Amino acid sequence: MVSKVSIITVCHNSAETIGDTIESVLSQDYPCIEYIIIDGGSTDRTMDIIREYGDKIDIVISEPDKGIYDAMNKGIHAASGDVVGLLNSDDFYADETSVSQLIECMENADTDTVFADLVVVDAKNTDHVVRYYDSSNFHPRRLRYGWMPAHPTFMVRRDLYIRYGGFLLDYQIAADYEMVVRLFHTAGASYIYLPVVVIKMRAGGASTSGLKSSWVLNKEIIRACRTNGIETSFFRLLPKIPVKLMEYIRRPK
């Protein structure tokens, strides 16, 4: 039986990029996708663009929310798929086989989750790669050191979200990290890594936009670990810095 995959895009005033995101989902060759868009009450042309796709998008919810993680939770609640993936409104799939590759890898290994690599691209010239996010470095033992797989590539069996809850709304930019800690450390979720670039992410996200956001991110990583019973510190997060810097000079094979 083919697994049904729910792909959730959350957006707010994303008129410049939402079209690319939608097109990348609709172009996937995977045969059973439920596409859900959660809009936070956009005031630009975002909803006009979404409406142009008509019934090609299965569920559209547009209303004010409490931020990106609240919107993600709404999407998960609305989803009916066996597997859930999150694709932000300034990201897009690397090619039409991305979802198929992820699900095939996940099902062959019979795991709860799957993740892969992504590239960060220039916001204006999406052919120009500025960073290569290599998820092969991740292992649950390395959560205390600040490591996580590339979250936009992360697909999860929906029943895990049902059993262990949604994203916590009192995190500014690291609720996705807390979710990964909860799933792997608390829930003991199984995983498989796919060594392929499946997502292209435009540069400029909240977690990669300056020293202040880095400070908040690392504080929240420490909090996420300690809340879930993993002891860590700023000192333990330091060794990942040079490895992360190397991502800016690596290019896809």
CA distance between the termini of the chain = 34
Reply yes or no on whether the pLDDT at 129 is more than 90.
yes
Name the one residue in this structure whose structure tokens are 């005033």.
13
pLDDT above 70 covers a percentage of the chain that reads 91
* Spatial contact of 77 and 9, defined as CB atoms under 8 Å apart: no
Residue 253 lies in a domain: no
> In the structure, what pLDDT confidence band is assigned to residue 207 with cuts at 50, 70 and 90?
very low
Which domain, by its residues, includes 227?
A: 5-246
Q: Which CATH number do you get for residue 241?
A: 3.90.550.10
Q: What is the pLDDT of residue 235?
A: 81
Name the one residue in this structure whose structure tokens are 């008509």.
54
Q: What is the pLDDT of residue 241?
A: 59
Q: What is the pLDDT of residue 250?
A: 57
What does the block give as tokens for 224?
A: 């996420």
* Spatial contact of 228 and 182, defined as CB atoms under 8 Å apart: yes
- The tally of domains found in the chain comes to 1
Helices (H), 34-136: 46-51, 68-78, 98-109
Closest CA to 32 of 79, 78, 88: 79
Residue 251 lies in a domain: no
Provide mean pLDDT across the span 26-37. 98
Residue 82 lies in a domain: yes
Reply yes or no on whether the pLDDT at 240 is more than 90.
no
Report the predicted TM-score, pTM, of the whole model to 2 decimal places. Answer: 0.91
Tell me the pairing of strands 5-11 and 191-202.
Answer: unpaired
Residue 76 lies in a domain: yes
Residue 124 lies in a domain: yes
Reply yes or no on whether the pLDDT at 253 is more than 70.
no
Quote the CA–CA distance of 177 and 143 in Å, as a whole number. 9
Residue 221 lies in a domain: yes
Residue 195 lies in a domain: yes
Reply yes or no on whether the pLDDT at 251 is more than 90.
no
Name the one residue in this structure whose structure tokens are 């292209």.
200
Q: What is the pLDDT of residue 208?
A: 47
Provide mean pLDDT across the span 98-116. 98
Q: What is the pLDDT of residue 98?
A: 98
Provide mean pLDDT across the span 141-145. 93
- 30 has which bridge partners? none
Max Cα separation, the chain? 51
What does the block give as tokens for 110?
A: 């019979």
Which residues have a Cβ under 8 Å from the Cβ of 97 and sit 6 or more positions away? 28, 29
Which of these ranges, 20-29, 177-186, 209-218, has the smallest mean pLDDT?
209-218
What does the block give as tokens for 211?
A: 């020293």
Q: What is the pLDDT of residue 179?
A: 98
Residue 252 lies in a domain: no
Reply yes or no on whether the pLDDT at 146 is more than 50.
yes
Reply yes or no on whether the pLDDT at 222 is more than 80.
yes
Quote the CA–CA distance of 224 and 180 in Å, as a whole number. 9
- Up-side HSE of residue 1: CA atoms within 13 Å toward CB? 5
